[in-house]
Structure 1
Amino acid sequence: MRSMRRTVNPLRLLLSVICIAVAILGFTTGHLADAKTYHKAYWVPVEHEIEQGLGSFLKRAFAEAESQQADLIVLHINTPGGEIGAADSIGQLIRQSPVHVVAYIDNQAFSAGTYIALNANEIVMTPGSSIGAATPIDLAGNAADVKLISGWSEKMAQAAALNGRNEEVARAMVEIDKEYPGLKGKGTVLSLGAERAKELGYADQVVSGKAELLSYLGVQADSLQTIEPTVGERVARVVTSPVVMSLLLIVGLVGIVVELFAPGFGVAGTISLCAFGLYFFGHYVAGFATWLHIALFVLGILLMIMEIFLPGGIVGAIGFISIVTGLIMAAYDTQQGLASLGIAVLVTVIVMLILIKKYGIKGLFSKFILGEVQRNEAGYVAPKDQRDLLNKNGVALTPLRPAGVVKIDGKRIDAVSAGGFIAAGSQIVVSQVEGTRVVVQEIDQKE
């Protein structure tokens, strides 16, 4: 048998090498194309409770990042939740941003924080962190009404759908009274750990910490820029909280009442001014209050002070309306402003009644209260009792036709003659006193 030797064709070998090289190059190029390449990244903290002040800070942060042509914003989320109204505004800000947004959760993103994370393009979590438990609650800590829960559930579902996440999982994080098989039972709400969130598509990546996150994103740590809230923005975040808003208004109004009971400017007045100053400063920095709102409040205070010297009620009423208008318009939400002011007024009225009961009507506060009762049978109540002038002698300083001025015991007194003309310089005697009306008659010099 003759052995057959297969010869190697150099041309075929060359073609094979070229094909393999092209395949490897194509594979590598494809992976390089898929790799994350961000040229300018910003790190923005989303911490503590979600409120309107945070929304104001994030609006500035996003504007700054966009103006610097950033192509990545990392939101470092660590929050127990907060106002759903503020979260809704922040979610809209994220959706409308042309910059790629990554939500990084290394501890918790509950309630409103979950909604913010779902609006981001990516969600990255660390082991031990959690997301979910997004049922709205009221100030008493109870679940909100069915209407609010239903609307928030739909918003959560729509936010999840933005990046192809399961809408039912989002609803299970909100709705307590509904069972979601495989997710949660009735009477509970869903929250997810990092690994479970990744299984359900609610975390795009799980990393060990910030260093691995930056590696995953392809960002150099020294090139990452951080935007922190200013001192004013930190104050605004505290002040725009509904609870703090109500407390500041209570302190401000109660301080005014206490100051009215205690003559002179003291501690109560100072505390009151500081409370109102913080209220307007926080809302001004947050972008809700304007100089018009502050001017209305100041004008109202001035009109209330004028009421002390110009009694009648009209000036004081206008001042009160001006104060209320300024406070409510400065709030981020009219309804919330009315609620906070209503609570403050109620507490102030209670304090005022306690002070009146204990000390009576005194100080500047008495200037706002009518102390004398005018009865028809009693006639006009004179500011001064002049009955001691009866039967006293004096002299007419001016002619009385019939009214004029007389001098009795060295004092000038407005008087009227009992009848007829009395010339200046004539001797007179007081014959009758009726309230402020002093009646005199001329003394016959011939007697």
Structure 2
Amino acid sequence: MKTRYLFLFFFIQLLMPHALKADSDTTQVYRLPIFDNINSTTWVHVKHGFEEAAKLNADVIIVHLNTYGGEVIFADSIRTKILNTSTPVHVFIDNNAASAGALISIACDKIFMRPGANIGAATVVNQTGEQMPDKYQSYMRSTIRATAEAHGKDTLITKNDTIIKWIRDPRIAEAMVDQRLVIPGLVDSSQVLTFTALEAIEYNYCDGLADNMDDVIKQLGYQNYTIKSFEPSLYDNLKGFLNSPMLRGLLILIIIGGIYFEMQSPGIGFPLAIAVLGAILYFAPLYIDGLAANWEIIIFVIGIALIALEVFVIPGFGVAGVSGIILTITGLTLALVKNVAFNFENVDNSDFVEALLTVFLGMSGGIILTIYLSNKLITAEKGVFSKIALKTSQDVNLGYIAVDNTLSALIGKTGIASTVLRPSGKVLIEGEYYDARATDHFIEKNEPIKVISYSSGQLNVRQYVQKL
């Protein structure tokens, strides 16, 4: 019996090295699918995917791509991520790699295409499909040309000469953006370049045809492999949605609009709650990503507090109001860039300008839209919310007597504003304090006033200027 167990033990020991070797020979392939337009959500998925591939010690990453394009800023971030990773990254174009998709594909080490697939047409267009001005095209031309150049050159030594040839000709990549570029025998000046799969193989922009992922992996030379596919979580999708520049602008609009409506009717209410929710949705994903630091959020909060202090407490519009606006803009802007404290060495000028424009456009749009909506939805006779707004007054001459009507005796008397009237506040007349409302414009504290009318328990006053 002991001899049998001893034999079994040695047999297992003999097989274990072979089993370990088999495991070590298994290639770990990480599949990263991109099947939608390139946007902020795609960028979040790519970052998460590359992190997951690194944790798995993946031997190779294959981008499974089928897209008509998307936002250049995120496509540029993805192509930079691909170029800077040490793990080999290949792409399988499953039908389409247009525009931003072409840029991402060219960044990969090898390109495989399904028969009948296309790559190219990388001209920068706006939301309506119209071609953007040349400064945008110039940036895209440079980016896609540099991406092709990143794959280096081949050197061919002949008897008479040394021929150096690009692995991926940068001129071909540029022709996918600029229709003015002419490459004899390939493209004229009437159209941007788009390759079919066979054309891409001919000009070294495709390394092979494949029907599926298994075909791609086998052409790469891997026989024993396992595939792990990226699967986005609900949080990844939510984070990507909240990181959209358009949504950030909208959230800034909501923040400013909520604060504006709250100032129109002071007191903790629905507009303030909406503004706070907008601020949380704005800062939360940036804070989780490490872009928004605690002090940047505190700067924003202090800025809002100073603006509120200026409106409700301090007369006029001075240091507190201006400081509040500056701090609010600073907090919102710095949260969008990759600065460390006040060190901006790792921040591109374009990133800073984009962040600043996002904030300014959001704030400007918020102010304009809230003023417009307050007039159209509330104060207008047929506004959507006009029925919930109080627009009538119970005038004394119509028989309404809700308060002591002896205040009507003060009509014509003069006094001083004991608080700022914006437009409501307190006035001092003959040693007594009364509620009052400025009818023409705001009246500063201690300015002389004159009572011109009385309604609904409140004096209506205007600034009094004595005639000489």
Q: Given the two structures, how large is their TM-score scaled by the length of structure 1? A: 0.66
Question: Matched residues in 1 for 2:271 and 2:66: separation?
Answer: 38
Instruction: Report Cα offsets for 1:192-228 as digits up to 9, x if no partner.
Output: 2223222322111111123433443455798211233
Say yes or no: does 1:95 pair with 2:95.
no
User: Given the alignment, which residue of 342, 349, 356 partners 2:360?
Assistant: 342
**Counterpart in the other structure of 1:165:** 168
- Tell me: CA distance 1:216–1:174, structure 2 relative to 1, closer, same or farther (3 Å): same
How far is 1:308 from its partner? 4.6
Question: Matched residues in 1 for 2:251 and 2:313: separation?
Answer: 30
- Tell me: CA distance 1:352–1:155, structure 2 relative to 1, closer, same or farther (3 Å): closer
**Counterpart in the other structure of 2:185:** 182
CA contact (8 A) 1:38 1:218 kept: no
- Tell me: CA distance 1:147–1:169, structure 2 relative to 1, closer, same or farther (3 Å): same
**Counterpart in the other structure of 1:109:** 97
Local SS of the residue matching 1:224: strand
Write out aligned runs for 1:208-287 (5 A): 208-217=211-220, 223-287=226-290
- Tell me: CA distance 1:125–1:90, structure 2 relative to 1, closer, same or farther (3 Å): same
Local SS of the residue matching 2:427: coil
- Tell me: CA distance 1:194–1:284, structure 2 relative to 1, closer, same or farther (3 Å): farther
Whichever residue aligns with residue 336 of structure 2, its letter is: A
Deviates more, 1:124-133 or 1:113-122: 124-133
How far is 1:125 from its partner? 1.4
Local SS of the residue matching 1:175: coil
- Of structures 1 and 2, the larger Rg is shown by 1
CA contact (8 A) 1:124 1:207 kept: yes
CA contact (8 A) 1:232 1:285 kept: no
CA contact (8 A) 1:87 1:113 kept: yes
How far is 1:130 from its partner? 2.0
Local SS of the residue matching 2:188: coil
- Tell me: CA distance 1:384–1:287, structure 2 relative to 1, closer, same or farther (3 Å): closer
Deviates more, 1:190-199 or 1:118-127: 190-199
**Counterpart in the other structure of 1:86:** 74
Q: Figure out how many residues of one structure are paired with residues of the other and give that number.
A: 338
- Tell me: CA distance 1:386–1:267, structure 2 relative to 1, closer, same or farther (3 Å): closer
Instruction: Report Cα offsets for 1:162-197 as digits up to 9, x if no partner.
Output: 160222221110102333333333242122222322
User: Given the alignment, which residue of 309, 322, 332 partners 1:317?
Assistant: 322
Instruction: Report Cα offsets for 1:384-431 as digits up to 9, x if no partner.
Output: 343378xxxxxxxxxxxxxxxxxxxxxxxxxxxxxxxxxxxxxxxxxx
Question: Matched residues in 2 for 1:220 and 1:244: separation?
Answer: 45
Question: Matched residues in 2 for 1:132 and 1:386: separation?
Answer: 79
Say yes or no: does 1:71 pair with 2:59.
yes
Instruction: Report Cα offsets for 1:67-86 as digits up to 9, x if no partner.
Output: 43321011122333233333
Question: Matched residues in 1 for 2:366 and 2:57: separation?
Answer: 51
**Counterpart in the other structure of 1:387:** 430
Say yes or no: does 1:198 pair with 2:201.
yes
Question: Matched residues in 1 for 2:220 and 2:259: separation?
Answer: 56
Question: Matched residues in 2 for 1:315 and 1:130: separation?
Answer: 58
Question: Matched residues in 1 for 2:180 and 2:188: separation?
Answer: 9
- Tell me: CA distance 1:242–1:180, structure 2 relative to 1, closer, same or farther (3 Å): farther
Instruction: Report Cα offsets for 1:217-258 as digits up to 9, x if no partner.
Output: 455798211233443332232233332222222222222222
Instruction: Report Cα offsets for 1:330-378 as digits up to 9, x if no partner.
Output: 2243222222222223323323444369749xx9xxxxxxxxxxxxxx9
CA contact (8 A) 1:128 1:193 kept: yes
* Contiguous gaps of at least 5 residues in structure 2: 1-24, 153-166, 338-350, 381-388, 390-413, 419-425, 433-463
CA contact (8 A) 1:87 1:116 kept: yes
Question: Matched residues in 1 for 2:286 and 2:96: separation?
Answer: 28
CA contact (8 A) 1:51 1:240 kept: no
Identity %: 30
- Tell me: CA distance 1:78–1:351, structure 2 relative to 1, closer, same or farther (3 Å): same
- Tell me: CA distance 1:154–1:338, structure 2 relative to 1, closer, same or farther (3 Å): closer
Whichever residue aligns with residue 120 of structure 1, its letter is: C
Whichever residue aligns with residue 154 of structure 1, its letter is: S
* Contiguous gaps of at least 5 residues in structure 1: 1-36, 364-377, 390-434, 436-447
- Tell me: CA distance 1:271–1:218, structure 2 relative to 1, closer, same or farther (3 Å): farther
Question: Matched residues in 1 for 2:128 and 2:224: separation?
Answer: 43
Question: Matched residues in 2 for 1:289 and 1:46: separation?
Answer: 28
Question: Matched residues in 2 for 1:188 and 1:51: separation?
Answer: 26
Question: Matched residues in 2 for 1:341 and 1:285: separation?
Answer: 20
**Counterpart in the other structure of 2:107:** 119
CA contact (8 A) 1:52 1:286 kept: no
Whichever residue aligns with residue 327 of structure 1, its letter is: L
Question: Matched residues in 2 for 1:251 and 1:122: separation?
Answer: 45
- Tell me: CA distance 1:70–1:388, structure 2 relative to 1, closer, same or farther (3 Å): closer
CA contact (8 A) 1:233 1:286 kept: no
- Tell me: CA distance 1:141–1:293, structure 2 relative to 1, closer, same or farther (3 Å): farther
- Tell me: CA distance 1:328–1:119, structure 2 relative to 1, closer, same or farther (3 Å): same
Whichever residue aligns with residue 277 of structure 1, its letter is: I
How far is 1:380 from its partner? 5.2
Question: Matched residues in 1 for 2:136 and 2:250: separation?
Answer: 26
Q: Give me the CA root mean square deviation.
A: 3.2
Question: Matched residues in 1 for 2:83 and 2:283: separation?
Answer: 30
How far is 1:38 from its partner? 6.4
CA contact (8 A) 1:102 1:120 kept: yes
Question: Matched residues in 2 for 1:231 and 1:104: separation?
Answer: 26
